[in-house]
Amino acid sequence: MSEVMLALRRSFVTLGHGRVWLYMLGPAVLALLVMIGLSLFLLEGLIASFVQQPPMSWVASWGALWLAKLLAALGGWLLILSASYLIAMVLAAVIVLPLLLNLVAALDYPELARMGSDSIVASTWNSLWAALLFIVGWLVTLPLWLVPGLGLLLPFFWMAWLNRRTFAYDALAVHATDQEWRELRRRQAMPLLALGLVMALLAHVPFMGLLAPSLAALAYVHFCLEALRRMRQGAIVTIIELPEGKA
């Protein structure tokens, strides 16, 4: 978790640059508009529909209609939040992350060589494919909402997965080779997902959650570039020490 905390700490330092906020406010404003629109037009209908579905219908039949409505409202809100987050995430990955990457790389990682490929098409495809898998995952695991507790945990898990699947690739596409990306993903599998979970939790904080996709992009840029720098430094040390080991 030390790598995650380092990435978060550096992200907060980067927020001190005024230009960063210009990059980040666009997805946040759009997420707010989507959230307001969906809440006005869909939330009431979602609550009415969820109340009639298990396990809310079971709770209502036991005489706790207020609890069934509360759970239905929570489910509807989580669905709307996920939809608005998904839209903001795609924008943050395709538009905001490249801007943040150029700024952060120049300020904090100037010695890190760019050995990957800067492809807008590949980045956009990765984000859209991740969004599609996210939607499919949501739909496939909906029956698991019947298991007590999973209805609250699954949205966090899918948001964490979405963050990792989208931002980790985009943050390294320009700097890392394909081999380096595969190796880093293998070494840092759990920290990458843990960082996604932290950002998923942040997405549920009122107002602050609107900035969560852009903040996730920034945090993944710091995490991935630092991990790549350490991996390359380790490879250099190994090459330098190898002749001495043979001797």
In a domain, 141, yes or no: yes
200-239 pLDDT, tens digit each:
888 777 667 778 889 999 999 999 999 999 999 886 544 4
In a domain, 152, yes or no: yes
pTM (2 d.p.): 0.79
Q: Which domain range does residue 166 map to?
A: 2-27+84-246
In a domain, 44, yes or no: no
Query: How many independent structural domains does the chain possess?
Result: 1
Contacts of 35 (CB under 8 A, 6+ apart): 80, 81, 84, 210
In a domain, 76, yes or no: no
Question: With b meaning 16 or more CB within 10 Å and e meaning fewer, what string describes 135-164?
Answer: eeebeeeeeebeeeeebeebbbbbbbbbbb
Q: What is the mean pLDDT of the chain?
A: 82
In a domain, 169, yes or no: yes
Q: What is the CA radius of gyration of the chain?
A: 21
In a domain, 41, yes or no: no
Across 146-175, average pLDDT: 84
d(CA 219, CA 10): 8
In a domain, 209, yes or no: yes
Token readout for 226 is 């630092």
The whole-number pLDDT of residue 239 equals 47
In a domain, 120, yes or no: yes
Read off the DSSP letter of residue 116: S
Report the chain's terminal Cα–Cα distance, integer Å.
37
